Structure 1
Amino acid sequence: MTTILYIKASPRPEAKSTALADAYIAAVRQQRPNFKVDVLNLAIEKLPEFDGNKVAAKMAAIAGQDQSATQKTAWDQIVSIAQRFIEADQYVLAVPMWNGGIPYRLKQYIDVIHQPGLLWTLDATTGYHGLLKNKSAVLALTSGAWGPSMPSPAFGIDHHSTYLKAWLNQAGVDNIHEIRFQPTIINSDLEGSFNAAVSQAQSLAKSIGVS
Structure 2
Amino acid sequence: MKTVLAIYSSLNGEQGNSSKLANEYLTKLEAKGDVSIKRVDLSTMELPHLSSEEMQAWMTAPAERSEAQHVLANRSDSIVESVKQADEIVLAVPMYNFGIPSSLKAYFDRVARAGITFKYTENGPVGLLENKSATVFAARGGIYAGTDFDTQTPYLQHFLGFVGISNVNFVYAEGLAMGEEQAKNAFSAASEKIIELSE
1:176 aligns with 2:174: no
The residue number in structure 2 matching 1:161 is: 153
Task: Specify which of 130, 137, 160 is matched with residue 127 of structure 2.
Answer: 130
The residue number in structure 2 matching 1:53 is: 53
- The CA deviation at 1:131 is 0.3
The residue number in structure 2 matching 1:69 is: 65
By percentage of residues, which structure has more helix?
2
Whole-Å separation in 2 of the counterparts to 1:175 and 1:134: 9
Task: Specify which of 123, 142, 145 is matched with residue 145 of structure 1.
Answer: 142
Whole-Å separation in 1 of the counterparts to 2:169 and 2:79: 25
Inter-CA distance 204–178: structure 2 relative to 1 (3 Å threshold): same
TM-score (norm 1): 0.83
Whole-Å separation in 1 of the counterparts to 2:136 and 2:118: 21
Deviations 1:2-46 (A, max 9, x none): 210011110213211111111111111122x22001001111125
TM-score (norm 2): 0.88
In structure 1, the gaps of 5 or more residues are 207-211
Two-structure CA RMSD over aligned residues (Å): 2.2
Counterpart secondary structure, 1:180? strand
The residue number in structure 2 matching 1:196 is: 189
Whether the 8 Å CA contact 1:23–1:202 is kept in 2: the answer is no
Alignment of 1:14-163 (within 5 A): 14-31=15-32, 33-47=33-47, 49-58=49-58, 60=59, 68-70=64-66, 73=70, 74-123=72-121, 125-148=122-145, 152=147, 157-163=149-155
Deviations 1:71-123 (A, max 9, x none): 85233442122111111110010101111110011111111221112211112
Whether the 8 Å CA contact 2:57–2:65 is kept in 1: the answer is no
Whole-Å separation in 2 of the counterparts to 1:133 and 1:100: 29
Whole-Å separation in 2 of the counterparts to 1:189 and 1:109: 32
Identity of aligned residues (%): 26
Whole-Å separation in 1 of the counterparts to 2:155 and 2:173: 18
**Deviation larger for 83-92 or 192-201:** 192-201
Whether the 8 Å CA contact 1:141–1:178 is kept in 2: the answer is yes
Whole-Å separation in 1 of the counterparts to 2:46 and 2:141: 28
Whole-Å separation in 1 of the counterparts to 2:137 and 2:49: 26
Higher relative contact order (CA 8 A, sep 6+): 1
In structure 2, the gaps of 5 or more residues are none
Inter-CA distance 67–182: structure 2 relative to 1 (3 Å threshold): farther
- The CA deviation at 1:180 is 0.6
Residue identity opposite 1:191 in structure 2: K
Whole-Å separation in 2 of the counterparts to 1:104 and 1:37: 24
